[in-house]
Structure 1
Amino acid sequence: MTARTRGVPVADIERRRDALLVLDIDEVVLQFIGPFQTLLRENGIELHFDSYKLTGNARSQATGAALASAELDGLMQRLYAEQASRQPPAEGVQAALSALDPDVDIVFLTAMDPDYHDERRATLDRAGLAYPMIATERSKGGVVAELARRWDGPIVFIDDLPPNLETVRRSVPHAHLVHLMAHHGFRPHLPALPKGAHAARDWTDAEQIVRAILADAPKRRDAAATTTGRPG
């Protein structure tokens, strides 16, 4: 079955800068764990943080039994359907992206069910986050690789899931990887990050990391030109 994608085609995204910042949305741009925790409680379910996964950690408050995968998925779909009223922006994201916008192009890349593209687009727009968005079932590494072919400067990818960071590392080895998770509940069980990935505590920290990457890019370009004998 063909992976579904909705949003702006990569070829149609306006390139204004040399540098590109690609952002996951859930737990990076919009809060996810906190709102999902609230939705679960409304349905008599408690979310525990005993391991780095949702499955098995969502349990009935009455019996302690783990929620079946199908029921968990159904509640997640409900969260996406109601995201406009349930998922606020991550703390500090609007200010950070507004400050970075003059220096880097910004694209949202979400693995959310593409059927909820319109709800998410409206949610982001109301929050003043009107950057291009791609909602896809494809590997994020493949999408970032397509984007990287259009931008000549540094590529920065931010996600809350280490496997997604690893997928991008394999597809775009020169990409700079940043881990960011708005909710801290699962952090004690965080899997190892890919080698060289940065860990951001919050958006204040993430903005500083991105700025350092952008500032270092001309130095790397000059060093490469010196090594090859070509002008930068």
Structure 2
Amino acid sequence: MASTSEVGHAKNVANLQDLIEFITAYGATYNPSKSNLQLPQILALKAAAETSLTEVIAKNTDFNTKVNHRVIAFSDVKPLSTRLVAALQTTDASEQTIDDAKTFNNKIQGKGSSAPKTPLNPLEPAPKTISNSQQSYDQLIQHFTGLKSVLESEPTYAPNETELQIVTLDTKITDFNQKNTAVAQTYTAVSNSRIARDKVLYTDQNSIYETAKEVKLYVKALFGANSPEFAQVKGIDFRKPKL
């Protein structure tokens, strides 16, 4: 389910359409000198707003998809790390080498590095920040790479099981990095699309929020404060969320 703020953005665009319907009905009487209040510009503004909303949805869905891919990729990192340490313990590795491997495994098993256990709903809005989550995955990759390095340094570590072999771990680390980077990249994309949307709807001088206020003022000036025309438009609500 979309958040209240996400629904609010769409509501503002829908309310602009209501405003457009009224000023269109005024015909040639509605004739502001300011260009951004003229009907063609308002129609173009609405089209730009609709495009920006669609872009946010698409980028948000892509972000959540990449997050889910990362969840799946990391889903077995903890049990795998425990298996790797056990495999090392069956070699001629020194106690120090085994302790080094256990140290990395303990860090991987730590609560602070736990990965999300359930996929995200693609329709859920991306968080305002991914810093904590990103750092957790960065650390998991670092610790797993450290564990792999310890195993690689032991000449007698040569398991027959494919999933425990160094070449497989190298491939896995590459996959970890790719999926972690993809999350960061798609988060940047959704964040930038939100900024673009907010400019069209709220923050630009000729945004929907600012334009709607001026249109109402023009209608008030044109027909009068007590006119039925102004009564039509003054109650159309445009809300600016906390950005």
TM-score band w.r.t. shorter chain = under 0.3
Q: Which has the larger radius of gyration?
A: 2
TM-score of the aligned structures, taking structure 2 as reference length: 0.24
Q: Which has the higher contact order (CA 8 A, sep 6+)?
A: 2
Give the strand-richer structure, 1 or 2.
Answer: 1
